[in-house]
Structure 1
């Protein structure tokens, strides 16, 4: 009899730090094609970024 082991694949996702809130955020499926260009963790951080 085989035992089934749950594998948590989401533990090994790439992460980045948001420059606005300094919190880490993980890769999401909807960002798959554009992950290299993602800088902010949320729309809120994107709109509240510091204007230089």
Structure 2
């Protein structure tokens, strides 16, 4: 079992906060840019304006 501190992390492209790897992102970790659906929606909203 891995400790949470041993997992890879990234910085959210929208809010700038660090977030850790999740099992559901296992296959697409390289493509993940946002920490949450809220940040992804906010970025999409900013691009549309």
Q: Which residue of the partner structure matches residue 17 of structure 2?
A: 23
| Higher fraction of helix | 2
1:8-43: per-residue Cα shift (whole Å, max 9, x none)? 622111000001111000000010011000000000
Flag structure 1 segments of 5+ consecutive residues without an equivalent.
1-6
TM-score normalised to structure 2 length: 0.82
Deviating above 2 A after TM superposition, structure 1's stretches of 4 or more consecutive aligned residues are: none
TM-score normalised to structure 1 length: 0.77
Flag structure 2 segments of 5+ consecutive residues without an equivalent.
none
Distance 1:32 1:8, change over 3 A: closer
- The CA RMSD measured in Å over matched residues stands at 1.8
- Return the index of the structure with the highest Cα Rg: 1
